[in-house]
Structure 1
Amino acid sequence: MTQDPSRLDGKLAVITGGGSGIGEATAHVFAQAGATVVVAGRRAEPLEKVAKAVGGHAITCDVSDQSDVRALFAKAKAITGRVDVLLNNAGGPGPIAPVAEADMDDWVACMHINLVGAMYCLQEAAKIMTAQGAGSIINMSSLMGIQGYPMRSAYVASKFALIGITETMARELGPHGVRVNALMPGAVSGENMDRILARRAEAEGRPAAEIEKENYTDVAALKRWVDPSEVGRAALYYASDLSSAITGDKMKVDCGRF
């Protein structure tokens, strides 16, 4: 009997931004598929809660701090001797303002987390996976990684860049048996989206419910939000042997916002 290609038995997966939202949901999906899951993030309490729920490990890490990231991957590798999957998911929304008015300190801070922090993780994962001759890296981009969006220049820039890095690394690491792909969620329900709606409502001077319908749900073919677990299942596709011949790819998970 051949092994189920959707399973992650015997594999160790690192999920950054693992304490809530897409990261938390994916931790559950990966654990149910048999993976040993390491959730990483800045706040210990939510990480420990998720780790306990999935029988995994919690490691505090600020991805914008390179020494923190190096320590994360060293600790993760020590658990099983390998790192098989990276969900490069940590990030923030960045400033919500027109380009001409964006606070550049906030703009640069967003890039430092979403892009530089992602690169720190990619460097460590690339070293480990190249040496072991196998692995799957999944970069969390966004629908805003392929189309510009008003008021979100920092986030858009960081997510566009991740698509380019994904394609670059796929070519670099392919000869070593390592695959690199990107997910592009649309509007995902949860606390993060609630905060963005509140900030947009304040900035635009109109009700959050109106912004939600006009910009997020009514424009989707399925007329609804994406659930975090749906992004997690798409991540499982890239993490597992279901996608064994796929690298340098990008997948929309957006309820049909085309």
Structure 2
Amino acid sequence: MTDDPARLDGKLAIITGGGSGIGEATAHVFAKAGATVVVTGRRRAPLQKVADAVGGHAIACDVSDQAQVRDMFAQALKITGRVDVLLNNAGGPGPIAPVADVDMADWVTCMNINLVGAMYCLQEAAKVMTAQKSGSIINMSSLMGIQGYPMRSAYVASKFALIGITETMARELGPVGVRVNALMPGAVSGENMDRILQRRSEAEGRPAKDIERENYTDVAVLKRWVAPEEVGRAALYYASDLSSAITGDKMKVDCGRF
């Protein structure tokens, strides 16, 4: 099966935010494709559960702490001597409030995780992959990385920035054979989306079901949520040789929201 461009046999993939949601689903997709998977995140217990399920490795790491990120990459490198794929997925929804009223401490915290934390991971991945002259980096942006959205200024800012960084790094690392692309999921079902709906419901004073239909499911032409494993399969496309000629790209995974 080594001649199958969709396979990741012999490759090591780091997935940040790997303990739940898209990260967890992608860990399963990558492992089934033959990758050695390293899942990282702040909470050890869910990471270990995912690692055990996919025959991978769990490394606790808060991406907003540069020292922890450097240590996590050092530990990952000891496993196979390489880092072939980085899914830069760790992040949070950030504060949900209008710009005029948003708590700026919460705003900065969101940026430190979603953007600064992503950069810490990108810097380490760039060093490792430049030295080995190969690799695939996948940044987890969002539909909110190409269009603004009310009440979500911190999240929007962080995800827009990731698109620009993706294009910048693709140009920087292309000459050494490293590809850098971005995924832009739409509304993905799961606990994170449930929490966002609840917070929006409280902030807007109306039922979560109405917000769900108006903003997430009815506006998609497929009239449904995106499943986490569907984002994982798109990540596999970028991680594998299926996309060997593609870099600096961004892909919507959104059930048709255009």
TM-score using structure 1 length: 0.99
Contact kept in structure 1, 2:2 and 2:9, CA below 8 Å: no
Runs ≥4 in structure 1, deviation > 4 angstroms?
A: none
2:122 maps to 1:138:
no
Residues 217-240 of structure 1: CA deviation (Å, up to 9, x unaligned): 000000000000000000000000
Q: Which runs of 5+ in 2 are unaligned?
A: none
Q: What is the CA distance between 1:213 and its match in structure 2?
A: 0.3
Any idea what SS the aligned residue of 2:40 has? Answer: strand
1: CA distance between counterparts of 2:183 and 2:132? 24
Residue correspondence of structure 1 range 108-147 to structure 2 within 5 A: 108-147=108-147
Q: What is the CA distance between 1:66 and its match in structure 2?
A: 0.1
2:149 counterpart residue number = 149
2:34 maps to 1:19:
no
Q: What is the CA distance between 1:2 and its match in structure 2?
A: 6.7
Any idea what SS the aligned residue of 1:251 has? Answer: strand
1: CA distance between counterparts of 2:172 and 2:77? 22
Any idea what SS the aligned residue of 1:97 has? Answer: coil
Paired letter, 1:185: P
1: CA distance between counterparts of 2:255 and 2:232? 14
2:195 counterpart residue number = 195
Residue correspondence of structure 1 range 69-108 to structure 2 within 5 A: 69-108=69-108
Residues 188-227 of structure 1: CA deviation (Å, up to 9, x unaligned): 0000000000000000000000000000000000000000
Residue correspondence of structure 1 range 171-190 to structure 2 within 5 A: 171-190=171-190
Q: What is the CA distance between 1:54 and its match in structure 2?
A: 0.1
Paired letter, 2:106: D
Contact kept in structure 1, 2:14 and 2:38, CA below 8 Å: yes
1:234 counterpart residue number = 234
Q: What is the CA distance between 1:169 and its match in structure 2?
A: 0.1
CA RMSD of aligned residues (A): 0.7
2:50 maps to 1:38:
no
Relative to 1, partners in 2 of residues 1:2 and 1:44: Cα closer, same or farther, differing over 3 Å? closer
Paired letter, 1:241: D
Residues 50-81 of structure 1: CA deviation (Å, up to 9, x unaligned): 00000000000000000000000000011000
1: CA distance between counterparts of 2:240 and 2:203? 42
Paired letter, 1:167: E
2:223 counterpart residue number = 223
2: CA distance between counterparts of 1:176 and 1:59? 28
2: CA distance between counterparts of 1:228 and 1:15? 14
Relative to 1, partners in 2 of residues 1:53 and 1:129: Cα closer, same or farther, differing over 3 Å? same
2: CA distance between counterparts of 1:254 and 1:102? 27
Q: Which runs of 5+ in 1 are unaligned?
A: none
Any idea what SS the aligned residue of 2:100 has? Answer: helix
Paired letter, 1:63: V
1:161 counterpart residue number = 161
Q: What is the CA distance between 1:156 and its match in structure 2?
A: 0.1
2: CA distance between counterparts of 1:78 and 1:138? 22
Residues 93-112 of structure 1: CA deviation (Å, up to 9, x unaligned): 00000000000000000000
1: CA distance between counterparts of 2:117 and 2:149? 22
2:209 counterpart residue number = 209
Any idea what SS the aligned residue of 1:99 has? Answer: coil
1: CA distance between counterparts of 2:190 and 2:183? 18
